[in-house]
Amino acid sequence: MRTSDFDYELPPEFIAQRPAEPRDSARLMVLDRGSSAISHHRFRDLPMLLEPGDVLVLNDTRVIPARLHARKIPSGGKFEILLLRRHGPQTWEALVGGRGLRPGRQFRVQGGPQGEILEDLGGPRRLVAFAEPISPRLEQVGEMPLPPYIHAPLRRPEEYQTVFARHPGSAAAPTAGLHFTQALLKRLEDHGLGLVHVTLHVGLDTFAPVTEERPEEHRIHSEWCRLTPQAAEALRAARRAGRRIVAVGTTAVRTLETAALAAAPGEIVAPFEGPTDLFILPGHRFMAVDAMLTNFHLPRSTLLMLVAAFVGRERILAAYETAKREGYRFYSFGDAMLIL
């Protein structure tokens, strides 16, 4: 297995720059793992494509306005800070863009507090400390981060949040969830489907391509996730009743499969809270996921490798070629795929 096995060509015009309006008008490709059959739908058709009793697992993380504009002290030189994950009330791991940003450098956030770079974590990563907790100020001083391939500005910050986002902490949205509306969630429940929430705070490393020749040599990013005892019991009950567990997005997949590794024999998942560095590659035995909703992912990415592990490399790449022929939109604001 080589990283080049997960490469494909995508002309830039296939990369969605804005979300579908309304959200559930996005296109939805359905891929049957048993027959390899493909059919084409709209996301709003989802209730009719699933069975009563199926359980949808939704990631309720909320994207934080993590992009900050700052000036060096005393020179006044401008640079950007992109917050990745909080280490303490005033301490964050961050990406910084600019020169001379070594430990000891003082700075001030535009419209916000003073800070200092504490540690060089390699490349553009730094450990930074603020003079006061920055979290309560982010809505005033921060901007929403967007993936590097999206060039159109947001019309509204909520465009890059799911309608069920609850727990702040992500540097990127769990994009498979962006297609849901409150009305669609109600239709799903009325159709007899269960909704279970997990939390995984998405890091920007999710967009980084694998550069190693062999994927297993890649150091997977660590992300914090949580599966509560109540959610774990709901999933166990669903499996005992013979119902399918449908993961909404690769972040839900990682959370569920991490929780499955912690489960006792005979249990599908165990409650879990903490970092996960689970790297799902072809050959992985899925223990907690029966079906998956996901977007169309970047070439050579860990996300494409995860989906390939679920459906097969040749089959997923063939489905992507079909998606291109049919004019589907790719990546974060793009269309979706339901794998059954």
pLDDT confidence bin for 19, thresholds 50/70/90: very high
Q: Give phi and psi for 134, each to the nearest 5.
A: -90, -20
Q: Is there a common fold for 3-63+154-339 and 67-141?
A: no
Q: What is the CATH number of domain 3-63+154-339?
A: 3.40.1780.10
Domain 67-141 matching CATH 2.40.10.240: the answer reads yes
Q: For residue 227, is it left (φ>0), alpha (ψ between -120 and 50) or beta?
A: beta
Would you list the domain boundaries of the chain?
A: 3-63+154-339, 67-141
pLDDT in tens, 245-273: 999 999 999 999 999 999 998 899 999 99
> What was the pLDDT predicted at 204?
74
What lies within 8 Å, CB to CB, of 287 at 6+ separation is: 257, 260, 261, 263, 268
pLDDT confidence bin for 210, thresholds 50/70/90: confident
Q: Annotate the chain with three-state secondary structure.
A: CCHHHHCCCCCHHHECCCCCCCHHHCEEEEECCCCCCEEEEEHHHHHHHCCCCCEEEEECEEECCCEEEEEEECCCCEEEEEEEEECCCCEEEEEEECCCCCCCCEEEECCCCEEEEEEEEECCEEEEEECCCCHHHHHHHCECCCCCCCCCCCCCHHHHCCCCCCEEEECCCCHHHHHCCHHHHHHHHHCCCEEEEEEECCCHHHHCECCCCCHHHCCCCCEEEEECHHHHHHHHHHHHCCCCEEEECHHHHHHHHHHHHCCCCCCCCCCEEEEECCCCCCCCCCCCCCEEEEECCCCCEHHHHHHHHHHCHHHHHHHHHHHHHCCCCECCCCCEEEEC
| Average pLDDT, rounded, for the chain | 95
Please give the model's pTM, rounded to 2 decimal places. Answer: 0.92
> What was the pLDDT predicted at 84?
87
Distance CA 103, CA 13 (A): 41
pLDDT in tens, 179-206: 999 999 999 999 999 999 999 999 877 6
> What was the pLDDT predicted at 79?
95
Rounded mean pLDDT, 170-177: 94
pLDDT in tens, 268-322: 999 999 999 999 999 999 999 999 999 999 999 999 999 999 999 999 999 999 9
Rounded mean pLDDT, 73-91: 92
> What was the pLDDT predicted at 207?
66
> What was the pLDDT predicted at 336?
98
